[in-house]
Copies of this chain bind each other. A is one copy, B any other.
Amino acid sequence: MKIEILKENLKNGLNILERIVGKNLSLPILNNVYINAEDNFLSMSSTDLETAIKLWILTKVIKKGKAVSPIKFLSSFVSLLPNEKIVIEEKNQILEVECKNFKTKIQGQNPEDFPLIPEFSNLEFLEINNKKLCQGLSQVVEVVSISQSRPEISGIYFSFSKNILKIVATDSFRLAEKTITLETAIKKDISFIIPQKPAKEIINILNEKEGNVKAFISPSQIMFEFPMKDLPHPQFQIISRLIEGEYPNYQAIIPSKFKTHIILKRDEFLNQIKAASLFSGKISEVKIIVGKDKNEVEIFSKDPDIGENRSTISAKITGEDQEVSFNYKFLIDGLNNIKSSEVVFELSEKEGPCVLKPVGDLSYLYVVMPIKST
């Protein structure tokens, strides 16, 4: 294998691929990048066996071939090279790198030992607008359950029905749902659960890209593919296993009736919850006290060792006065997922699920369970 590539192109590619590589001691080949020089293209892949990323770079290929090289090492090294053309040649599993003033040899491994990255090319696919997908995913991706005792809620649920995609995550204390309208309706409804890690990679890799991403779905895996315009290879593929199991019937817990409906300034509310959190004690409790007469919401928290905090925020209130307590972390997460300047906060019967959502945007809602007030 021998190629000529610009430093920046190689560096950018390695930076994307190295993110999913940890320090795998039981299978050290996974700490490497798999490099394949084909006709005019260099493809590079990395995998942790659950998620794989593959990308293509238009490159001058002097001699086709494959190589495997330690990815974090190669990435650190390449980032220190001058911004020039790099010539890379593989000889007996050693990568010889030449770049203005530098002559370097990096010990690699046998490309045959690298796990196969699955291919999906003949499957049917769905198309989703990139920015909508990434924005929606980023509003739900942190809400999944950390515990692996119920694996199905450790991932993000995608549910396609006609021209509607719903992206959902929950950890049983709160739930986030994003609704995306597709440009074209799909033929057959489909749903699946993808793990959190590849979902985060989709956001990181595709967030700033214009255009559509294609999703190819097999019974146990999914591939998100982002095309390279007018060229035979895609720019990126993100491949993930799917999580087995049935996603809970989450729609049953989204309340349809509320006792109190509040509209608040989002930034001020978030800041007051943060201040209250400092006084919230071991159970992280902050109390929301709605007083309709005064057109304001009071936020109260108290820790006998530290002190107490009381703040007020003006609000548009309809419905009944009441006091409800929450774990402040769940309120902060919900407010962080909402970017509008005002939020709707709907409170149910005491200890029933409540809802946060952006004002003027029906596509997102965040359900949060109160805690029993002390």
Of A117-125, A194-202, A268-276, A365-373, the one touching chain B: A268-276
Instruction: Say whether, besides A73-B306, A107-B305, A102 and B311 are in contact (CB < 8 Å).
Output: yes
Flag whether A106 is at the interface (Cβ < 8 A).
yes
- A-B complex: 9 closest residue pairs judged by Cβ atoms: A106-B307, A80-B275, A105-B307, A104-B309, A102-B311, A103-B310, A107-B307, A101-B312, A101-B311
Flag whether A182 is at the interface (Cβ < 8 A).
no
A278 and B105 CA atoms in complex are apart in Å by 12
Residues of chain B contacted by A101 (CB below 8 angstroms): 272, 311-313
Determine if B274 and A80 form an interchain contact, defined as CB atoms under 8 angstroms apart.
yes
Flag whether A186 is at the interface (Cβ < 8 A).
no
The 8 A CB mask of A233-261 against B (1 = contact, 0 = none) is 00000000000000000000000000000
A274 and B77 CA atoms in complex are apart in Å by 9
Residues of A within 8 A of B (CB): 70, 73, 76-77, 80-82, 94-95, 101-107, 271-272, 274-275, 278-279, 305-313
Residue of B at shortest CB range from A77?
A: B278
Instruction: Say whether, besides A80-B271, A80-B274, A105 and B313 are in contact (CB < 8 Å).
Output: no
Instruction: Say whether, besides A80-B275, A275-B80, A275-B81, A102 and B306 are in contact (CB < 8 Å).
Output: no
Beyond the given pairs A94-B307, A105-B307, A106-B306, 14 more chain A to chain B contacts, judged by CB atoms under 8 angstroms and listed by A's residue number, are A73-B306, A77-B275, A77-B278, A80-B271, A82-B271, A95-B307, A101-B311, A101-B313, A102-B272, A103-B311, A104-B275, A105-B309, A106-B307, A107-B306
